Structure 1
Amino acid sequence: DGDDEDVYRMETSTGGEQRYLKVAELTFELDGETHSLAGYRQEGEDRKSLFVPFRDKTTGQQTYGAGRYMELEAEGELEDGQEVPVDFNLAYNPFCAFSDAYACPLPPEENWLETTIEAGEKDW
């Protein structure tokens, strides 16, 4: 199956895995440095928003230890070079931050930022 290369099997907080398709590479500048994050959609889902799980240097200190999520909106169909606003004020804690009953996908290593993201929801 040649399509499998875009499928990412994200480990979950409960030890399982969920399948996502990588549909976007988001590049942004912060404090004069360029960073990138992958945007995903869950396999078989029709939603237009991009799921962006990430970790940064606040993870496990000021923010939840397994990382945070953003849901970013793209205008219409995604195209190369299209701008999608990356707004870290939208970063939120996954459900598993509040209850062990939830299986939350863990941010893949390509979405571990080597910078500090002060915006968004903090650890509770």
Structure 2
Amino acid sequence: MARVLLVEDNELNRDMLSRRLTKCGWQVTCAEDGLQGVRLAEQYRPDLILMDLSLPLLSGWNAARQIKADANLRSIPIIALSAHAMRDDRASALDAGCDEFETKPIEFERLIHKMSSLTVGEPPR
């Protein structure tokens, strides 16, 4: 089972997305802020990280930078999640080390496609 770390401070978004991902076969671990997200990435070494960019304590941009600066974690793909759909927001996320960008509200099928394309092996069913 592929493991995903969902870093999202909004409880409703976190709950909805984690339940849908679990139904699709992903093993989901959640973090509520950027600091916890970095710590859980170090601890669990997920196959993929979904990173909200507007997070408390440590922004998603800075959390992604810290993860990508760690030689043991840099190969983990990160998909940035943001309610901001401006071209600069996508570019800033990619510059911070994110591998993909998805706007909110999340179009679930598109997100699953991106997640599957970034993980090794067969995507969950």
Could you say which TM-score interval applies, normalised by the shorter chain? under 0.3
Q: Is the helix fraction higher in 1 or 2?
A: 2
TM-score (normalised: structure 2): 0.25
Q: Is the strand fraction higher in 1 or 2?
A: 1
- Which is greater in Rg? 1
